Amino acid sequence: MTNNMIRSMTKPTLLTYLKIALVTWALAMLSGCRIWDMASFQWQNANATATWNNELGRTSVPFYKLNEHVLVDVSVNGKPGFVFVLDSGAAATVLTETAQTRLLKLPRDTPLTISGSGNGEDPVAYIVNDMQIKVGDFAIKNLSVIYAPTSAMPFDSIEETYFDGVLGADFFNCCLVEINHDQNTLVISAPTSKNINIYASETWQKLSIDVESNTPFLTTLVEDGEGEKNVKVMLDTGSTGTLSLFAGDNDFVIPDKTYETRTSGISGDTTNRVGHLNAFHLGNSQFKQLPTYFRFAGSNPQSGSHGVLGNRVMQRFNMVFDFAGETIWIQPVQQHDTLVLSDRSGLRLLPHKEGAIAKDIAPGTGAEALKIPVNSIVKSINGTPITSTNFDALTTTLKDKDVKSVSVCWLASSEQRCGQLHLVARI
């Protein structure tokens, strides 16, 4: 294959070997009542090159969503069939341990201790060199990545690991990255003036960001019980939640009505409270009564940041990231004005190859009343079997304020049971 457009990812003056330095913050992946944390890294891939197999320096591929993640099909080392999460908050490209990645027989001779939120022991991941990751007509070659086994991920087994890897800063640093939720397409293009001018129209709003340690931050406004406050938040498409604010320094007024959640990071557990924030501003848009995670012990803010903005808010916009120009463009999607809802069930589900796995049961909720065991497999909601294609739609029902109850069937100890799950507002 002849690559018609090749772009070096680093300047010639950079060292010709991989430099790696741990950063002290964790990438928060919010989901339901819990925040999963992965470690992130700051590094330079001195020998990596970005290539397009066309003269335009632009490729467009479809994506689909699962558990609020943006997932795309990729090839690894010339082999198709891998699914990666698009993650603007990950400062490295990551391969996870799945049945698919096990076939690659990745080496484990360069270990690296990683750290995240929590108070337990830090797990070990591995550096793997000379990889190629291809998305559509775009590829990065001679890439060094992190291989994270299940022990270094927020999953208990490979049956729960529903993606093979993470497209992180290596892809955002080299390119313009457009996430179009209206069309369910990912566009990766070279940061040329021609490609940038595509977004110079009244339908797109241009915002300045700061890119620090390969990570994007936006300074904006929130409104709590004391009024408007300037905040610096990480823009994290890998976070499946709404907004997480670091509350350990009493920077924010905690809402009167909240519920407590348990947070599991790669280094242990932390504590959060979920409540409605009066308002959050993003460009010309304002989200009122936004369900927000207030994090206390175990928070690891980076670069003086106040929190993390997750995909449940950002997917209300088509977004374009330009790390090199420290710019984003946003465009409200067709469903922009629908209310951002919070959980009403007490049941926290993650995708599983056999349906969905119940990772948490909140006390005093309908899920506890049904006595659904933790780690049981939920097979169906309202009679519809749960699959990877309908997981998001079915679990959204558990947040719907107009739904009073749903029928749920689950499998525990090889025995299937069913019951009526009552839904009640928790905040």
Tally of domains in the chain:
3
Task: Check whether residue 168 and residue 206 sit in a common domain.
Answer: no
Q: Specify whether 282 is located in the same domain as 237.
A: yes
Look up residue 20 and give its amino acid: I
Cα separation, 189 vs 183, whole angstroms = 17
Whole domain around residue 414: which residue ranges? 347-422
- What is the reported pLDDT for 6? 60
Over the chain, what is the mean pLDDT?
86
**Mapping DSSP to helix (H, G, I), strand (E, B) and coil, where does residue 399 land?**
helix
How far is the C-alpha of 370 from the C-alpha of 203, rounded, in Å? 48
Q: Are 168 and 62 contained in the same domain?
A: yes
In a domain, 337, yes or no: no
Q: Are strands 327-332 and 347-352 parallel, antiparallel or unpaired?
A: unpaired
* pLDDT (0 to 100) of residue 177: 98
Q: For residues 222 and 297, is the Cβ–Cβ distance under 8 A?
A: no
Q: Are residues 54 and 149 in the same domain?
A: yes
Residues 78 and 177 in one domain: yes
| 133 lies in some domain | yes
What parts of the chain have a pLDDT lower than 70? 1-44, 115-121, 262-270, 297-303
Same-domain check for residues 126 and 37: yes
Is 342 within a domain? no
Reported as half-sphere exposure (CB side, CA atoms, 13 A), residue 187 has a value of 22
Q: Which of 178, 193, 208 is the last residue of a domain?
A: 193
Residues 96 and 220 in one domain: no
Are the beta carbons of 96 and 166 closer than 8 angstroms? yes
- Domain boundary among the residues 175, 193, 211 is at 193
Q: Do residues 270 and 418 share a domain?
A: no
Structural domain includes residue 339: no
CATH number of the structural domain spanning residue 307: 2.40.70.10
In a shared domain, residues 82 and 177: yes
pLDDT confidence of residue 137: 96
Q: Are residues 161 and 253 in the same domain?
A: no
